[in-house]
């Protein structure tokens, strides 16, 4: 008989993230090949896990068409060399696609139906711009269910500034600069590179190269420079390219396991799933979505925000992260928040980003036995938020030394 079990994040890897568009390093690389490369890298690093014991493969993509269509979890599993006996599926929850892959597979493990699963996501925004090749129902506008501007994420970010005037452009600019500098410091310290899977890429001239680092970083960013940037979403607005995540291509993948599988294969989990929640908000201000989803996840876990020792918050826009921090009484520059920077510098390949947050949190847990709980959270287009709370298996109950 199947029994309830703990759910563990055993490992996670990702491709380097590339700038979307013709000048980006993945312009001539298929989206499904990015996922395949990530799966191969993860399985090679976890060679003690038999491929035929993977119960399911969930891969998310926001634009499920072209090379991101055709039931990605199944096609990527076959292309990555997993046995034909391993099934797969595709998931879509816009920005929280990979996060939903993890929670869906995690729930299946938790109720004892699965032992091992792969969960991740991909987005090739160069090939598939957000909202491309879709046909929104005209009732949304005709019946005033949703303001047309709600489909433009930048416009929704401007509206958070409108709603909370004390969350100023200057605060957002400072947050954007800090993200760039923290990512660069993490790179220089070798924190991020161990979980990247190198990808062979071909340029416009047909010459081959190797993608080994995230392409969109701008460590030279300054406050003075950000102050001069245009506000593309509104004249005299407050949201700029310097406080937004860039359009990005990339893929992520994670290996999840139940307690019996961990024991059977001698695995060393990096995190234990404690709780998760998703929530809906007005699409016009979708950026505040992680606030109610985090409150729900905390309640389900029997925790408070003060129990969270590390935060990995997706930086779709600086103002979106700041609004969550402000709600919970956390300083913009709190060292617990995105200590290695975030999507403003690394990029946000929509459906892939949730697992990137988890990969970084897992790596930080290994360095921080003083921290017991961590949070991965993100806003989601069309007015949603997603949050997952994790426990650190390395927690020793000792306070961090000064």
Residue 12 has pLDDT above 60, yes or no: yes
**Of the candidate ranges 98-107, 149-158, 220-229, 379-388, the one whose mean pLDDT is the lowest:** 149-158
Task: Please state the φ and ψ torsions of residue 194, each to the nearest 5 degrees.
Answer: -60, -25
Q: Model's pTM, two decimal places?
A: 0.97
Query: Is residue 147 within 8 Å of 284, Cβ to Cβ?
Result: yes
Residues marked as catalytic:
95, 348, 379
Residue 322 has pLDDT above 60, yes or no: yes
CATH number at residue 359: 3.40.47.10
Q: What is the mean pLDDT of residues 370-381?
A: 97
Would you say residue 139 lies in a domain?
A: no
State the total domains in the chain.
1
pLDDT digits (tens, 9 = 90+) for 89-147: 999 999 999 999 999 999 999 999 999 999 999 999 999 988 778 888 889 888 988 88
Q: What is the mean pLDDT of residues 267-292?
A: 97
Residues in the chain: 402
Query: Is residue 250 within 8 Å of 352, Cβ to Cβ?
Result: yes
Would you say residue 160 lies in a domain?
A: no
pLDDT classification of 402: cutoffs 50, 70, 90 = very low
Cα separation, 349 vs 126, in Å, equals 10
Query: Is residue 372 within 8 Å of 345, Cβ to Cβ?
Result: no
Query: Is residue 73 within 8 Å of 56, Cβ to Cβ?
Result: yes
Would you say residue 185 lies in a domain?
A: no
Would you say residue 32 lies in a domain?
A: yes
Would you say residue 188 lies in a domain?
A: no
Residue 9 has pLDDT above 50, yes or no: yes
- Full domain range(s) for residue 18: 7-127+246-388
Residue 401 has pLDDT above 60, yes or no: no
- Write the Ramachandran bin of 118: left for phi over 0, alpha for psi from -120 to 50, otherwise beta: beta
Would you say residue 254 lies in a domain?
A: yes
């Amino acid at each position: 008989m199947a029994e309830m079990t703990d759910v563990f994040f055993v490992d996670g890897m990702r491709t380097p993230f590339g700038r979307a568009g013709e000048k980006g390093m993945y312009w001539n690389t298929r989206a499904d090949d990015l996922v395949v490369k990530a799966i191969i890298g993860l399985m090679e690093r976890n060679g003690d896990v038999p491929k035929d014991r993977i119960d399911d493969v969930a891969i998310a993509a926001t634009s499920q068409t072209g090379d991101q269509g055709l039931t990605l979890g199944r096609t990527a599993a076959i292309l990555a060399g997993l046995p034909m006996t391993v099934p797969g599926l595709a998931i879509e929850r816009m920005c929280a696609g990979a996060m939903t892959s993890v929670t869906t597979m995690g729930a299946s493990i938790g109720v004892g139906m699965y032992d091992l699963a792969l969960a991740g996501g991909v987005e090739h925004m160069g090939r598939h711009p957000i909202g491309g090749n879709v046909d929104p129902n005209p009732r949304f506008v005709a019946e005033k269910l949703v303001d047309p501007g709600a489909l433009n994420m930048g416009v929704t970010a401007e509206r958070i500034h409108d709603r909370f005037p004390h969350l100023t452009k200057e605060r957002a600019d400072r947050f954007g600069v800090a993200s760039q500098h923290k990512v660069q410091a993490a790179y220089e310290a070798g924190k991020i590179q161990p979980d990247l899977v190198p990808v062979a890429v071909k340029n416009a001239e047909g010459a081959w190269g190797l993608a080994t680092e995230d392409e969109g970083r701008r460590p030279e960013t300054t406050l003075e420079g950000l102050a001069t940037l245009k506000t593309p979403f509104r004249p005299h607005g407050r949201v700029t390219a310097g406080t937004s995540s860039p359009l990005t291509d990339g893929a992520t993948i994670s290996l999840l396991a139940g307690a019996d599988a961990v024991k059977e294969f001698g695995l060393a989990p990096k995190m234990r799933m404690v709780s998760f929640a998703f929530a809906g908000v007005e699409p016009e201000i979708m950026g505040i979505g992680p606030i109610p989803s985090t409150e729900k996840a905390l309640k389900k876990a029997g925790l408070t925000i003060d129990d969270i020792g590390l935060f990995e918050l997706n930086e779709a826009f600086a103002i979106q992260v700041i609004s969550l921090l402000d709600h919970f009484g956390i300083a913009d520059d709190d060292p617990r928040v995105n200590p290695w920077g975030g999507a403003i510098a690394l990029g946000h390949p929509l459906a892939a980003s949730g697992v990137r947050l988890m990969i970084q949190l897992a790596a930080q847990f290994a360095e921080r036995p003083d921290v017991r709980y961590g949070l991965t959270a993100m806003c989601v287009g069309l007015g949603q938020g997603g949050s997952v709370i994790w426990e650190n298996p390395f927690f020793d109950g000792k306070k961090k030394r000064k």
